[in-house]
Amino acid sequence: MIKIDGAYLEGGGQIVRTALALSTITQKPFEIYDIRKGRKDSGLKNQHLYCVKSLQELCDANVEGAELGSLFLKYFPKKIVAKNLNIDIETAGSITLLLQALLLPAMFASKPITISINGGTDTKWSPSFDYFNNILLPQLQRFAKVEAKLMKRGYYPKGNGKVEIKINPRFRLYDFSSFEEFHQSLKQNIQKYNLIEQHHLIQIKGISHASRDLQNAKVAERQAESAKSTLKQKYNVPINITAQYQDTLSIGSGITVWAIFSKNKEDIDENNQIRIGADELGEQGKRAEIVGEEVAKNLIKEIESKAPVDKHLADQILPYMALISGKIKTSEITNHCRTNIYTIHQFLGEVFKVDEINKIISNY
C-alpha cells in the first residue's frame, strides 16, 4: 500500500487526481491522508468524489473513505474494463479536472471509449476546455487518438456544460502481463518529449466566449479585440481570435489564447508540438476589455520567457511524460508542478527520481 501525504506543498486535489490515475494504470493500491488539510474546506469535495466514482466504473476499484469532507482515501484498483461512460457532475465542477484523473487510464483501455461529461467547462482554478483541447491534448496524441468535442458551455454556479471525449488507444494494458512490461513497451515505442526551445513563432490563435445573455453587449467580441490589440503591439504574426456565444444556465464569459511555434517555419512537429497558452474568465463588474488585455499579457509573459512549455502545461504533462521520459523547459516550476512530481514519484520512483528532476524539467 503506497502512502501519500495529501497536505504536501500546495496540498490540493491534484494529489488525489494524479494518484487515482497512476494507481489505476500501475495497479498499485494507495492510501492518501490529510487530504487538502490546509484548505479552508478540507477533505474531499464533490468533484473529487466524481473522480473516484468514474474510475470505479472503469476498473471496478474497491474504495474506502470516499465521502464528502473525508481526510483519507484508500483505493484498490482492478483491471481496466473498456466501457463508455456518462458522467454528470451535477454542478459546475470542472470537467477538465475530472479528466486529469480519468483520461490517462482510459487512453490505455482494451478498446475505444467514449466519455460524456456534464459539468463546468470554464471555471475558476482549473484549465478551460479550450486550453485542454488546444494546448494539452496535442501533446497526448502520441499515446492514443483523442478527440474532444464541446457540446455546450457550462459556467459557475449551475454548470450544465457538456463535453464528449472519444479515445482510441494505441497501446493497451490488456496486451501485457504486467505494468512493468507495458511500461517498457511505451518507452521503446513512443518518441520521448523534447520541448526545450520555442523556435519560430508562427501564429497566435484564440477563442473568446460568452453566454447568450451577453451577446447584445458584445462581450465575446470585446474580449477578443482587446486581446488581439495587445498582442499586435508585440508580434507581427497572424492573430486569429474567434468570438462565440451559447445558451447557458449561468451567465459567464472567458477567453483562451495560444501561441504556436515551429522549428522549421513550414513544418509543425506533430510529436513535439510547441504550444503555450493562457486563459482568463470574465467576472461581474469587470470590463470585457480588461479580461482580454489580461489574458494577452499573460501569454506575452509566457512567450517572453523563451520557454516552450507554459507553467500550467508543465504540471499537466508530467504524468504522461513520466511514462516515456524526455526533457521539457518551462517558464516556471510551480508548487502544483512540484506536488505532481512528488505524487508521480510514489508510483514510478524507480524511473522518476525527485533528486534527478532537473534532468527532466527545468525553467529559464
The conformation of residue 25, written as its DSSP 8-state character, comes to H
Complete edge-to-edge strand list for the sheet that includes strand 30-33: 2-5, 30-33, 73-76, 62-64
Q: How far apart are CA 98 and CA 92, in angstroms?
A: 12
Task: Identify whether 199 is a catalytic site residue.
Answer: no
- 127: cis peptide before it, omega within 30°? no
Beta strands in the chain (DSSP E): 2-5, 30-33, 62-64, 73-76, 85-88, 113-119, 144-152, 161-169, 193-195, 200-211, 239-246, 253-262, 274-281, 326-330, 361-363
Three-state DSSP at 191 gives coil
Query: What are the helix (H) ranges across 171-272?
Result: 179-189, 219-232
Helix (H) or strand (E) holding 256: strand 253-262
Q: How far apart are CA 198 and CA 123, in angstroms?
A: 29
Q: How far is CA 138 from CA 202, 210, 260, 308, in A?
A: 16, 25, 11, 14
Burial of 24 (0-12, 13-18, 19+ CB in 10 A): buried
Q: How far apart are CA 349 and CA 75, in angstroms?
A: 19
Selecting among 183, 312, 336, 345, the annotated active-site residue is: 336
* Residues annotated catalytic, as ranges: 336
